[in-house]
Structure 1
Amino acid sequence: MKNRRKLLITTIVFLAASLFVVFKLKSNKQEMQDNIAYSQRKVDKIPVIVETATDGVLSENVVATGTLEPSESLTLVSETQGKIVKIYKQKGDRVSQGDAIVKVDDEVISANVLTAEANYMQYQKDVERLTRLANENAVTKRDLEQATIGMKKAKADLITAKKALSNTSIKSPINGFINNSSLTVGQFLAGGSPVCEIVNNSVLNLNVKISEAEVYKIKEGQIVGVRLSVFPEKKFSGRITAIAEKADASMKFNVEITLLNNSKTHLRSGLYAEVDFPVKNQSKVIIPKASIVGSMESPVVFIAQNGKAIKRTLIIGQSNDKQVEVLSGLSANEQVIVSGQLNLKDGDDINIVK
């Protein structure tokens, strides 16, 4: 009797547990379906914040930015191989054209030069002797010709050996400073291996970009003002040395400016610089920089028009930390989207948040 009663209780408990599990699974399934439906529901309008494009100027004169570049910069490579026995110049040292920087072991190559000199001298004597004998018809012309050919080959071998010997003293081909070098005495230097980087900053180049509306207002040889952020109180001047004949993909023209690095303040390449062109700025459409989608090379914005986001591709001019000049693609008083535009697509419905 007790066993039947116990079995009945166990069966009831099992059935209750099974019913609870089934109910819970259905409840979780319904909740999951509700979540999926909620996540997939279409948002009718995307909230955005807009600002109005205005007419104005960012600066009184046309300003362009860039970084100073050395007039000459090269990586010196070894034309020989061998163990480094002497280092004459270190990183940061000034060098002149022809200064020795590194010396490579030349014992074997010096011996090759001596051998080549001896061979050449021997052939010279042979040619002189055979020439006298040929004049007396004591030897054939063929013997003289072979000796002459041998002398020319010996001379070429001597020139090659001397060149190899000179290559063991690695010299600077330009004036400048050693910007980078990591060689040590005793290190094996392979042919074609980099020895050091040499930078000549005696003349600095500055490449900047200006728009088509400004490129015809400047000319080669013109003097321009240059400002460096690291020396805000000092003024420098440069000369326009080249103006590009072709615009780049962003419709900008490259302008090269040269600065003589002969002031008391020694300038280094890589410094950020601003150029003031002697050209008065005209009023242009100004928009917030935050409205730009993508890069400044290929700028895109979205404008709010009749409750929709409309995509516009721009050509831009100058810019600062907060604003950008628009040369083409946008008019004053149009509303540009400055927040919420990153996930927009052309034609999306929008809701302007005040």
Structure 2
Amino acid sequence: MKRKRWLFAGMAVLVIAALSVMFWMSYHKDSNKTAFQTETVKRRDIAASVQSTGVIRAKIGAEVKVGARISGRVERLYANIGDVVKKGQLIARLEQVDLQAKVDEAKMNLKTAEANLELSQKTIQRMQNLYAKDFVSKDKVDLAERDLKAAQAQVNQIKEAIRFSETQMSYANIYAPISGVIASVTTQQGETVSASSLSVPTFVTIVDLSRLEIYAYVDETDIGKIKPGLEATFTVDSFPEKDFSGKVSAVYPKATIQDNVVYYITLVSIENPEGKLKPDMTVNASIFLNRRNNVLAVPNKAIKREGGKKVLQVLENNRPVQKSVKTGWKDTAYTEIIEGIKEGDMAITGEVTKTENE
């Protein structure tokens, strides 16, 4: 009897152990289930775009170097870096003492020349009267006429000299040719500047911050999609949370090669009403090729390629079911679905494995 009891006890232990193993395996099988990350298929707006980097530049004519057209000493400098100036505003003045002296001297010479001209006019009139009475020869009349022409030429020459001297004196006052901000000052009060036909000394550089554009470097694989009129948005490192807007104005026909990669410069006109944007800022731009509104879309990562077809998985009755789909436009996050799934389906975007500790 004892042997039977021990036999039954041993069998009971084995049964309990087997049940424990089965329970443990069943528990861990359930606790290591695969869970799917999903997103509901719904309608949204998609903007297909080309990404590029670039730099902000002043448009042609929006950055002007202002200098002196004559030599002289800088008497006054009215501009400092950062000053906002208006077109026509006086920004510097050269000494005018010597220039004024030349004008005064020329005007004195003009008075003398005009007196000589008046005398020559009276002389020719008198000679013509005497010649008519045969009191003088024709040579005397001719000589008087030559003297008159010479006197008139001298008057004209001095008047031209006065105009030139007054023009030179006007160059002593240097005005802003455009409205904008003083970006640099390259001279100082009291400095002597020397101008020539080959070089003009620069006083200041003025930039019109309302006339900026982006030099966007677009990869050769995308440049065929770009055309003037396309809208763009961009960010700059100085204001990473703010989106600025612009519009493509031109595409350079000649390529630029950087690090063995072919790019084409695309000009994007931008607005800068707040003056936050500055020349030479680096930008990250998105040029929008097309916009699709209210279309079915799924995350890009949900779509795979199999055998030349595009497929994705949807969750049906807690099980993944593969669907072939036809796609349309895509942006950086979503792809348009033309056919293959319907609104409200749960598109699988990834999966995670749950463990017993999760």
TM bin, normalised by shorter chain, reads 0.5 to 0.7
Counterpart of 1:234 in structure 2: which amino acid? K
- 1:77-131 alpha-carbon deviations (Å, 9 max, x no partner): 2222333222222221112222211112111111111112232344345445534
Task: Give 1:238 shift.
Answer: 1.1
Residues 257, 150 of structure 1: CA spacing in aligned structure 2 closer, same or farther, 3 A cutoff?
Answer: same
Structure 2 unmatched ranges of 5 or more: 1-46, 129-140, 291-299, 301-358
Quick one: which of 37, 52, 58 aligns to 1:64? Answer: 52
Quick one: which of 261, 264, 289 aligns to 2:272? Answer: 261
Counterpart of 2:211 in structure 1: which amino acid? V
Cross-structure match for 1:119: 109
Distance 1:124 1:257 in 2: 62
Q: TM-score, normalised by structure 1?
A: 0.56
Distance 2:97 2:75 in 1: 11
Residues 133, 241 of structure 1: CA spacing in aligned structure 2 closer, same or farther, 3 A cutoff?
Answer: farther
Matched, 1:148 2:136: no
Cross-structure match for 2:171: 167
Q: TM-score, normalised by structure 2?
A: 0.56
Counterpart of 2:161 in structure 1: which amino acid? D
Matched, 1:242 2:250: yes
| Higher radius of gyration, 1 or 2 | 2
Cross-structure match for 1:272: 282
- 1:305-354 alpha-carbon deviations (Å, 9 max, x no partner): xxxxxxxxxxxxxxxxxxxxxxxxxxxxxxxxxxxxxxxxxxxxxxxxxx
Q: CA RMSD in A?
A: 2.6
Task: Give 1:64 shift.
Answer: 0.9
Distance 1:125 1:97 in 2: 44
Distance 2:189 2:219 in 1: 53
Structure-to-structure mapping, 1:279-294, within 5 angstroms: 279=289
The structure with more strand, counted as a fraction of residues: 2
% of aligned pairs identical?
Answer: 22
| SS state at 2:255 partner | coil
Structure 1 unmatched ranges of 5 or more: 1-58, 284-354
Runs of 4+ in structure 1 over 6 Å off:
none
Task: Give 1:148 shift.
Answer: 2.2
Cross-structure match for 1:92: 82
Task: Give 1:233 shift.
Answer: 2.2
Distance 2:236 2:49 in 1: 17
Task: Give 1:135 shift.
Answer: 4.9
Counterpart of 1:201 in structure 2: which amino acid? L
Cross-structure match for 1:186: 190
Task: Give 1:239 shift.
Answer: 1.8
Task: Give 1:232 shift.
Answer: 2.1
Q: Which has the higher contact order (CA 8 A, sep 6+)?
A: 2
| SS state at 1:213 partner | coil
- 1:37-91 alpha-carbon deviations (Å, 9 max, x no partner): xxxxxxxxxxxxxxxxxxxxxx963111111112222332222233322222222
